[in-house]
Amino acid sequence: MGDVIYRVENLRKAYGERVVVDIQQLEVRRGEVLALVGPSGAGKSSLLRLLNFLESPTSGTLAYEGQTLTGSAPLDVRRQVTTVFQRPVLLRSNVRENVAYGLRLRGWRVNGRVTDMLSRVGLEGLSKSPAHKLSGGEMQRVALARALVIDPTVLLLDEPTANLDPYNVGLIEEIVRQHNREHGTTVVLVTHNVFQARRLAHRVGLMLSGRLVEVADTTTFFDSPSDPRTAAFVRGDMVY
């Protein structure tokens, strides 16, 4: 968990007059789980889209693996990063084909990897089932399996367990934790759930109105935050 995988400096994303991301400095370290918490509209998901190169910043610097990216990122860089969104968007196909999708895009071998990944997320018995007929928790596990099977360098999770039952929340958290530990995958997790951030993350950051208020290791963030807004947020007070 040493070197830096993302370096962000004066990064701004605006839609017209509305600034949704305005971050002076942020470093994401290789192999860490970084959780970003904050209220709705704080710019967390917008930041994830920038980190996944799905959108270009309005201004500022976004460096990945030491390489400053201007304009659209090259395909080989894009293919090292993937996102699991809050609402799983699955292809109109069966579970197996959904999980295999990213492998097929890259022209990689499918069989063994997909089978292993399905058993890892507890869906081996549903591989032939239509993906659209699964429960919400199962669909999100398919989305997670589809992301992990390509063995990304960076996994971005955008509220991956919102609206899920405790069983699926626990299962997904354990899969992410295990993958991070075994593969050294860097994880950036966006969540409203401070308890989830505490359970999963090595470091936690608070975002408010597009800005990063504070980033600290998990214990410091929760037990002795330096910014009063962080302390208020952790206490459960309304913070905007």
Partner 1 sequence: MGDLTLGLAHAVRLILSADPALMEIILLTLRVSGLALAISTLVGVPVGAALGLARVRARGLITALLYTGMGLPPVVVGLFVYLMLSRSGPLGVLGWLFTPNAMVTAQVIIAFPLVSGLTMTAVQSVDPALRLQVRSLGATRVQEVWAVLKEARIGVVAAIVAAFGGVISEVGAVMLVGGNIEGKTRVLTTAIVLDTRTGEFSLALALGIILLSLAFLANVAMLRLQGMTNIE
3-state DSSP percent of the chain in helix, strand and coil, to 5: 40, 30, 35
129 to 12, 97, 139, 162, 168: CA distances (angstroms):
43, 10, 11, 24, 19
Under rule CB under 8 A, residue 133 binds partner 1: yes
Determine the interface stretch with partner 1 among 17-25, 26-34, 130-138, 222-230 (rule: CB under 8 A).
Answer: 130-138
C-alpha torsion 131→116→181→143, nearest 10: -10
Under rule CB under 8 A, residue 132 binds partner 1: yes
- Please identify, using beta-carbon distances, which residue of 52 and 186 lies nearer to partner 1: 52
Under rule CB under 8 A, residue 222 binds partner 1: no
Tell me which residue of 195, 186, 142 sits closest to 166, measured CA to CA: 195
Under rule CB under 8 A, residue 150 binds partner 1: yes
Q: How far apart (Å, rounded) are the C-alpha atoms in residues 7 and 198?
A: 23
Single out the residue of 54, 63, 110, 162 in contact with partner 1 (rule: CB under 8 A).
54
Per-residue binding letters, 62-101, with partner 1 (x by CB under 8 A)? -------------x--xx-xxx-x-x-x-xxxx------x
- Please identify, using beta-carbon distances, which residue of 131 and 171 lies nearer to partner 1: 131
- Please identify, using beta-carbon distances, which residue of 146 and 203 lies nearer to partner 1: 146
Q: What angle do CA 33, 38, 43 make, to 5 degrees?
A: 90
Q: Map tokens 């400095």 to a residue.
A: 25
CB of 184 to partner 1, least distance (A): 19
Q: What residues between 156 and 215 interact with partner 1 by CB under 8 A? A: 156
Under rule CB under 8 A, residue 28 binds partner 1: no
